[in-house]
Structure 1
Amino acid sequence: MRYPYADIDEVDDDIREQILAVSEKSGFVPNVFLSLARRPAEFRAFFAYYDALMEKETGNLSKADREMIGTATSAVNNCLYCVVAHGAVLRIFEKNPHIADQVAIDYRKADITVRQRAMLDFAMKVCQEPWTVGDPDFAALAEHGFDDEDAWDIAAITGFFGLSNRMAHIGAMMPNPEFYLMGRVPRERK
């Protein structure tokens, strides 16, 4: 880790409450929270936008779809932290212990639906060559039930993970060990 993690006892109350709420739900504090907490204004902005994109209840993207986009685009960006962390959440949402590995290595060969493949095709184009996105790409999405607002969501999630991936890289963030088993083995009940 290049930048020291914030001390949870020294962060602003609202940030501490948010971190503790995540910890209560997951059983641990994901490193990204402590990494970003060292810059409070950026922490708040980052997680507000994350929540707006990933917790959204409208549109045609499920929470699993959103995590799939994050996992696949993070793989293209070689972001270990986000592939491992969001792959864990993807496994849980899809109830499939293999899906994240498949999507991260080659989504085209993954055990996903044709609809999800079209979604990831669009996300990859936005991730790798956004200047080439045009009407045919929107039409391809429409063939699978996605509208223009869904295309916006796919692009926004892709763009957000581009930011997240780059910050994880420069911060040398490592995934918490807990992420590796999430969605692969039954969770221990306390």
Structure 2
Amino acid sequence: MPDDIAPRQAASWLRLPPPPAPTQKVADLLAASEAKLGYRRHGQRVQAHWPALLLALESVSQALKAEGNALPPRERELLALVVSVENRCEPCVFSHAAQLRQITGDAVLVGTIEVNWRRAALSAREAALAAYAEKLTRHPAEVEPADLDALRAAELSEAAILEAAAIVAYFNLSNRFHSGLGVAANHEAYLSHRTAAR
């Protein structure tokens, strides 16, 4: 699988040769991702050099968005976007903003979240999730029982709180991987699903 990135845009700051020939699992994962998005994410191009890591991270990602989870897709992407904005992780902001635009059909709402989620037209429950994501990202050592109480007051179940913590933790990991290696943002993600508010 050659690393056939668009001219003048490297996948990251790493100076890597083409990745090894993919195993069937890796090839299937990359093909499924490309079929869903219409392009291959640069982060996956980098992770393809360490197939076990690529598969492990994809397994966690799939668990976090499995059918029947406590949080709906809109809230999951909100958490991912708030974390990514807080960390200023360009490829992750582009990606999660695109996903949230697709879910909501509202590019203005998503753009406002990218600037300052407090100014966005969020429900009380969404605002509670955003505040939790921001605090756990900025000041993890300062999270207290009261922060979980605020989520309960916003009518989040214990399972939903567990899921929220896992999503915030996972995307902080993802953000640091991308930012630490200079993984390039996909322009396709930035351009996708830019529709006006319905």
Deviations 1:51-97, CA, capped at 9 Å, x for gaps: 111335221x1111111111111111110010011110011011111
Alignment partner, residue 47 of structure 1: 58
Taking the aligned partners of 2:16 and 2:77, their CA distance within structure 1 comes to: 25
Count how many residue pairs are aligned between Structure 1 and Structure 2.
185
Taking the aligned partners of 1:160 and 1:4, their CA distance within structure 2 comes to: 26
Question: Structure 1's 62 and 110: CA in aligned 2 closer, same or farther, altered over 3 A?
Answer: same
Question: Does 2:83 correspond to 1:83?
Answer: no
Quick check: 2:64–2:163 contact (8 Å CA) kept in 1?
A: yes
Residue 20 of structure 1 deviates from its aligned partner by 0.7
Taking the aligned partners of 1:158 and 1:77, their CA distance within structure 2 comes to: 11
SS of residue paired to 2:60:
helix
Alignment partner, residue 29 of structure 1: 40
- Structure 2 portions without partners, runs of 5+: 1-11
CA RMSD of aligned residues (A): 1.9
Alignment partner, residue 190 of structure 2: 180
Deviating runs (4+, > 4 A) in structure 1?
A: 4-9
TM-score (norm 1): 0.90
Identity of aligned residues (%): 24
Residue 168 of structure 1 deviates from its aligned partner by 0.4
The structure 1 residue matched to 2:68, chosen from 54, 57, 81, is 57
Question: Does 2:18 correspond to 1:17?
Answer: no
